[in-house]
């Protein structure tokens, strides 16, 4: 192995929502000076996950590189059905296209299944549909524009 190669290990764990804010800001809303789009009113009630990388020989330091927030609620039309929305999924730019975001989404989906979620959904930027299709999330509505960005609602039945 050459001196420039580093072996990275990953760790995915639940994090405090406050720990997700810096990545949300840098990746999703770099020009949002007042953080109005960065923080969510429901953040305190959500479950937030982070993917950390650790480079070999890096003195055991872990770096948070990818985040996602999950919100569970009962389906108002089916009282015995649990629905989950995931929001604010982001990976630091220098760690994108290396599989970290996919590992985090896979973890979050398994967590949802283990917690008896019937339906998982998100509002996704249409520019990122390719990653979501790998996880069987399918468009279920027409795209819409918010803050000059095109989004579409995606869903996946888990049960």
CATH code at position 28: 3.40.630.30
Rounded to an integer, the average pLDDT of 26-44 is: 88
**pLDDT confidence of residue 2:** 41
| Domain presence at residue 1 | no
Q: Is residue 130 in a domain?
A: yes
Residue 39 belongs to what domain range?
Answer: 8-157
Q: Is the pLDDT of residue 127 over 70?
A: yes
Cα separation, 86 vs 77, whole angstroms? 20
Residue 29 lies in a domain: yes
Structural domain contains residue 128: yes
d(CA 131, CA 101): 9
Which of the two residues, 56 and 117, has the higher pLDDT score? Answer: 117
Residues 6+ apart with CB under 8 A from 5: none
- Residue 25 in any domain: the answer is yes
Q: Which residues of 24-53 are buried (b: 16+ CB within 10 A; e: fewer)?
A: bbebebeeeeeeeebbbeebeebbbbbbbb
* pLDDT surpassing 50 at residue 108: yes
Tens digits of per-residue pLDDT, 36-66?
889 999 999 999 999 999 876 666 689 999 9
Is residue 2 a part of any domain in this protein?
no
Q: Does the residue 97 lie in any domain?
A: yes
Number of domains in the chain: 1
Residue 118 lies in a domain: yes
Instruction: Answer for the pair 122, 132: CB distance below 8 angstroms, yes or no.
Output: yes
Q: Among all chains, which residue has been given the structure tokens 């982001």?
A: 90
Alpha helices in 85-136 (DSSP H): 100-114, 129-133
């Amino acid at each position: 192995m050459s001196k420039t190669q580093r072996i990275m290990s990953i760790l995915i764990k639940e994090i405090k929502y406050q720990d997700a804010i810096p990545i949300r800001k840098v990746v999703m809303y770099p020009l949002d000076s007042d953080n109005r789009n960065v923080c969510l009113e429901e953040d305190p009630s959500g479950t937030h996950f982070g993917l950390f990388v650790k480079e070999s020989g890096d003195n055991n330091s872990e770096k948070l590189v990818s985040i996602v927030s999950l919100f569970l609620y009962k389906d108002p039309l089916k009282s015995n059905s649990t629905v989950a929305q995931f929001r604010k999924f982001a990976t630091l730019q220098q760690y994108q296209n290396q599989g970290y975001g996919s590992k985090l989404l896979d973890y979050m989906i398994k967590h949802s299944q283990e917690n008896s979620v019937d339906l998982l959904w998100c509002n996704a930027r249409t520019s990122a549909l390719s990653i979501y299709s790998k996880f069987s999330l399918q468009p279920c509505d027409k795209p819409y524009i918010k803050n000059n960005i095109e989004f579409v609602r995606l869903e996946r039945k888990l049960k």
